[in-house]
Amino acid sequence: MKRILALILTLLMSLSLVACGNAKDDTSDGAETENYPEKPITVIVPFSAGGEHDLTARTIATRLHDMFGWTVVIQNTSGDSAAAIEYMKDSGNADGYTLFMHSPEVMASGFVSGQLNEDFYKQFTYLGCFVYDPLCISVAADSPFNTIEELFTYAKEHPGELNWAAVGAGGFNQMNSENLWSVAGCEFNYVPYDDASKSRAAVLGGHADVFCSFASGAKSSISSGELKALAVGSSERLDFWPEVPTLKEIGCDLQVGLTRCWDIHPDTPQEIVDILTEKLHECLNDADTQAKLLEMGQNPNWMTNEEMHEYGEYYYGVYQEIYARLHAND
């Protein structure tokens, strides 16, 4: 008898937990927008705790708390951003208290490469972008290349000889790299790793020649002198690397990087979207916020919802073209 009782208790306890997880806030209709926010705001970050997206999000969340007294909770779901996007479409998330962290250009690349099966980059409302983390091309300190021109000239003469270490194959980073090479007129051997720390270790250990990353991921190794930064993908030189040229300066008319931004369900009441956008903008313009972001190597940069949509649309075109070229022989 006891045994059965224990079994039932166990099952009940576990079921109740599952039920808690599924319970949704159904009171989204007619939400009061005057006193927004009335409860903690949750930001779903589809990356693991301690990653660069996560750190940026937490910095902004802390600043929002300091400046406006808002409680912003960061929730990490690592492993798969596609699943996180599917979850985000749930209409229960249109109450204005559930935010997401997706970049339009990444979603556009996912749609082109087949990782995502819908054009999600169009479907969401962006609450403005707060960081633009530009592409950064660097080499090991003992590398014979000292400028981006030297590197590209060598690669033109020896196509596919140098190893170009980056994260992931076929997706966002590879398409960005291929696009850059075609603009610069040279060719490298693309070697994908599953993690930026691994590709960096490969370049530091001499297993690959070029480290292709975003500025924030290379900053500490560059300031310690283990890596030499050759070029960045932003439209202007970065404040913390005034000596590093942009791709535009060397004649590659490109702006390549990663936007770090929050987005929200498209059915969210416009008043709430306006409040969130305004406060985020105010938060980013604050000197303390900017100092905190720069400390982590994140480059503060504001973009509006419209600009984000344009940006996503532009990159969708770019990626489609690259994808077609990459798969021309399939």
Partner 1 sequence: MSALNLVFSGAAAIFEDPLTILYFLIGVFGGIVFGAIPGLTGALGVSLMLPFTFAMSPTQGITVLIGIYVGGVSGGLIASIMLNIPGNAAAIVTCFDGAPMARNGHPYRALSYGATASLIGGLFSGVVMIFVATKLARFGLMFGAWEYFALGIMGLAVVISLCSDDMIKGLISAIIGMMLAMIGMDKLSSLERFTFGWWRLSGGFGEMTVLMGLFALGEILSQLKNLGKPMNQVDSDERRTVLPRKGAFKGLKKSLCISSIIGTLIGVLPGVGQSTAALVAYNQAKNSSKEPEKFGTGCAEGIVAPESANNAVCGGALIPMMTLGIPGDTITAMLMSGLIVHGLAPGASLFSSNPEVIGTIYFAYILACIAMYVMYLLFLKYFIKILSTPMNYMMPVILLMCLIGAFTTNNRVFDIWVFFAMGVLGYVFQQVDIPIAPLTLGYVLGPTVELNFRTAIMTFKGDALSLFTRPLALVLLAVAVIMLFWPMIKNTIQRRKKVRVGGDSDGTN
Query: C-alpha distances in angstroms, 264 versus 25, 90, 91, 267?
Result: 16, 11, 11, 9
Which of these ranges, 94-102, 111-119, 131-139, 308-316, lies near partner 1 under the rule CB under 8 A? 111-119
- The correct pick among 30, 69, 144, 225 for binding partner 1 (CB under 8 A) is 225
Which of these ranges, 4-12, 123-131, 250-258, 270-278, lies near partner 1 under the rule CB under 8 A? 4-12
- The correct pick among 40, 114, 185, 251 for binding partner 1 (CB under 8 A) is 114
- The correct pick among 120, 130, 152, 190 for binding partner 1 (CB under 8 A) is 190
CA distance 287 to 308: 23
| 315 sits near partner 1 (criterion: CB under 8 A) | no
> Under DSSP, is residue 240 helix (H, G, I), strand (E, B) or coil?
coil
Query: C-alpha distances in angstroms, 175 versus 59, 127, 234, 318?
Result: 30, 26, 17, 9
Torsion of CA 237, 241, 245, 247, to 10 degrees: -60
- The correct pick among 297, 301, 303, 311 for binding partner 1 (CB under 8 A) is 297
Give the closest residue to 238 by CA, choosing from 221, 224, 255, 251: 255
| 14 sits near partner 1 (criterion: CB under 8 A) | yes
| 149 sits near partner 1 (criterion: CB under 8 A) | no
Query: 73 forms bridges with which residues in the sheet?
Result: 42
Task: Answer yes or no: are the C-beta atoms of 177 and 212 closer than 8 Å.
Answer: yes
Q: Closer CB to partner 1, residue 76 or residue 125? A: 76
State the minimum distance, in angstroms, from the CB of residue 10 to partner 1.
5
Q: Which of residues 191-210 bind partner 1 (CB under 8 A)?
A: 191-195, 197-198, 200-202, 204-208
Q: Closer CB to partner 1, residue 11 or residue 324? A: 11
| 296 sits near partner 1 (criterion: CB under 8 A) | yes
Q: Closer CB to partner 1, residue 194 or residue 278? A: 194
CA distance 271 to 279: 12
Q: Closer CB to partner 1, residue 84 or residue 272? A: 84
Q: Closer CB to partner 1, residue 49 or residue 324? A: 49
| 223 sits near partner 1 (criterion: CB under 8 A) | yes
| 287 sits near partner 1 (criterion: CB under 8 A) | no
Rounded to a whole number of angstroms, the distance between the first and last alpha carbons of the chain is 65
User: Regarding beta strands 189-193 and 163-167, do their DSSP bridges make them parallel or antiparallel, or are they unpaired?
Assistant: parallel
Report the sign of the C-alpha dihedral through residues 182, 186, 189, 192, in that order: negative
HSE-CB of 290 using CA atoms within 13 angstroms:
11
- The correct pick among 102, 219, 260, 279 for binding partner 1 (CB under 8 A) is 219
| 226 sits near partner 1 (criterion: CB under 8 A) | yes
Secondary structure letter of residue 243 according to DSSP: T
Task: Answer yes or no: are the C-beta atoms of 68 and 61 closer than 8 Å.
Answer: no
- The correct pick among 115, 123, 182, 235 for binding partner 1 (CB under 8 A) is 115
Cα–chain center distance at 294: 16
How many other β-carbons are positioned within 10 Å of the β-carbon of residue 319? 23
Q: Which of residues 46-85 bind partner 1 (CB under 8 A)?
A: 48-51, 54-55, 58-59, 62, 74-80, 82-83
Query: 72 forms bridges with which residues in the sheet?
Result: 41
Contact positions vs partner 1 (CB under 8 A): 2-3, 6-7, 9-10, 13-14, 17-18, 21-22, 44, 48-51, 54-55, 58-59, 62, 74-80, 82-83, 86, 110, 113-115, 160, 163, 168-171, 189-195, 197-198, 200-202, 204-208, 219-221, 223-226, 295-297
